[in-house]
Amino acid sequence: MRRKPGTLILIERSILEAATDFARRGEPEFHGYAVAGEIREREGARRLTGHGTLYKALDRLERAGLLASRWEDPDVAASEGRPRRRLYRLTAEGERALAAAREREAAPVARLRPGRSAT
Amino acid sequence: MSALDLAAAAVRRWTRWYSAGLPPSVRDRRLAELESDLWEHRAEARALGLGERGTAVAVLWRMVRGMPADLTWRLQLGGMAMTSTRGIERSSGLVMLLMVLLFAGGLSGPGIGSSEPYFTEDFPALVADRGDHLRAVVFQFLAAGAVIAAAWLLYVTFRTPSPAAARFGGIALATAGVLFLGAAVAAARLYLLADDWSSGGVPGDAAWRSAKTAAEIYSTLAFFGGFAFLASFGAFGMLFARRRVLPRPLGWLGLAGGALAILSLLVLGAGVSTGWYFMMLGLLVVFVAFALTAAWLVVRGVAHPEAQPPAL
């Protein structure tokens, strides 16, 4: 089933929300496992997002221009004795897409208000 | 090699398999991201003082839950040109063989009955052998993942000679995989409850009752999963027997196993407990048929329809 262009599915929305949380905390770049952990915390979930679900969604968001990514400096990874991280950051387009998704979500509530106040 | 090393190795192997044939830059990136993810997962578990076995189950569970997304990602990038037709056939056979072996491992743990008096007899024995039960649970998770992967591969392998039978067989097998996955989750919960109960539990307490519920869920899901599994081989057996894409006796063997299993349902429905023997015999026959089909797919492959008389 094809979805409407410009809409975000749940996992994409969760990733973008997590990305804004990272940015708010002064960490504009994040890696895959970190975003899985952030989603678990934000949503009070018991488990981390599945590997395929997470990396497919990150790939899709990057192709759509909502995220950008780069490989971490290999020297940094080597100095910490771990594999290199792929670092993602939210783009301006990603911020706009998230704002639009939030607006769409809030819209039905706004339409209900006049009816509710009349009763 | 620890349980976590084995889980990480399974993730790497799976990633290498579904990314095979992609441009090196795309494939290497996915492999490197997964490598980093596995490292971070292990590091976090260590920092939080979590057990290796629990972390291994969590890693495998993440892999299994992500499998449908991995496969659709792969299809979007490379379509069915992922590998040659012969490569898909061989992969189908290998995954089916793996599935049979993993099922055998999944059955190796202590059995558990959900009805009385079996539960009262079996649960304390499971508590005593809960290490064996955990090993069986890991096999059950992997077997469920293999069933789902086999469903997709068998559909791709046989959809050309008979799209309807391949679709029905694939959906039935995927349904079986999902039900087995649910049963594995219930079995994992049973392990956690057995662990709780081992430290001073008494028959009839809260942990005991929760364990009984988990055993009931496990039995129900495993039963319906088994039924879907047999239905799938009924469809594939019919396809082999009618389309001559594989030796007909393989199809007949699968159909005979499925018929035995359905007969067992009727006998059980009539309240005759020996129906279980028919069910076990039916499953055994289907497993043999699966293993032989798998071996044939690996070694000889499918006779393609161009060489066949017109479709029936």
Predicted complex ipTM: 0.87
- The verdict on a CB contact (< 8 Å) between B62 and A50 is yes
Percent of chain A with pLDDT over 90: 71
Hey, is the C-beta of A52 within 8 angstroms of any chain B C-beta? yes
Q: Which two tokens stand for residue B283?
A: 């499953």
pLDDT tens, position by position, B141-156: 998 998 998 888 888 8
Neighbours of A112 (CB within 10 A): 10
Mutation for B interface: A33, A51, A72, A84, most B CBs within 10 A: A51
pLDDT tens, position by position, B32-62: 999 999 999 999 999 999 988 899 999 999 9
- Assess whether pLDDT exceeds 50 at residue B250: yes
Contact in structure between B129 and B110 (CB atoms under 8 Å) = yes
pLDDT tens, position by position, B90-139: 888 888 888 888 877 777 777 777 777 778 888 888 888 888 888 888 88
- Assess whether pLDDT exceeds 50 at residue B231: yes
Question: How far does the CA of residue A54 sit from the closest CA of chain B (Å)?
Answer: 8
- Assess whether pLDDT exceeds 90 at residue B310: no
Q: How many helices (H) and strands (E) does chain B have?
A: 10, 0
The torsion region of residue A65 among left (phi > 0), alpha (psi -120 to 50) and beta comes to: left
Contact in structure between A84 and B32 (CB atoms under 8 Å) = yes
- Assess whether pLDDT exceeds 70 at residue A119: no
Q: pLDDT grade, residue B80 (50/70/90)?
A: very low
- The verdict on a CB contact (< 8 Å) between B69 and A83 is no
Q: What is the pLDDT of residue B22?
A: 84
* Max CA distance (Å), chain A: 65
Judged by average pLDDT, the poorest of A14-18, A69-73, B245-249 is B245-249
- The verdict on a CB contact (< 8 Å) between B66 and A52 is yes
Q: What is the pLDDT of residue A118?
A: 37
Give chain B positions within 8 Å (CB) of A46.
Answer: none
> How far apart, in Å, do the first and last CA atoms of chain A sit?
40
Fold of A10-118: Arc Repressor Mutant, subunit A (1.10.10)
Taking residues B232-255, report their average pLDDT. 78
- Assess whether pLDDT exceeds 80 at residue A103: yes
- The verdict on a CB contact (< 8 Å) between A51 and B58 is no
Contact in structure between A36 and B58 (CB atoms under 8 Å) = no
- Assess whether pLDDT exceeds 90 at residue A95: yes
Q: What is the pLDDT of residue B41?
A: 97
Taking residues B266-270, report their average pLDDT. 77
Contact in structure between B36 and A32 (CB atoms under 8 Å) = yes
Query: Which helix (H) or strand (E) element contains residue B201?
Result: none
- Domain boundaries along the sequence of chain A: 10-118
- Assess whether pLDDT exceeds 80 at residue A47: yes
Give chain A positions within 8 Å (CB) of B31.
Answer: none
Hey, is the C-beta of A15 within 8 angstroms of any chain B C-beta? no
Give chain B positions within 8 Å (CB) of A56.
Answer: 66, 69-70, 72-73
Q: What is the pLDDT of residue A73?
A: 94
B230: CB partners within 8 A, 6+ apart: B257, B258, B261, B262, B282, B283, B286
Q: pLDDT grade, residue A31 (50/70/90)?
A: very high
- Assess whether pLDDT exceeds 90 at residue B312: no
Give chain B positions within 8 Å (CB) of A55.
Answer: 30, 33-34, 66, 73
Q: What is the pLDDT of residue B244?
A: 73
Question: How far does the CA of residue B96 sit from the closest CA of chain A (Å)?
Answer: 22
Q: What rounded mean pLDDT belongs to chain B?
A: 82
- The verdict on a CB contact (< 8 Å) between B66 and A51 is yes
Residue with tokens 């976590």: B4
Interface of B with A (CB under 8 A): 11, 15, 29-30, 32-37, 39-41, 43-44, 58, 61-73
- The verdict on a CB contact (< 8 Å) between A83 and B32 is yes
Q: What is the pLDDT of residue B123?
A: 84
Q: What is the rounded distance in angstroms from the CA atom of residue B221 to the CA atom of residue B216?
A: 9
Residue by residue, what is the 3-state secondary structure of B214-246? HHHHHHHHHHHHHHHHHHHHHHHHHHHHHHCCC
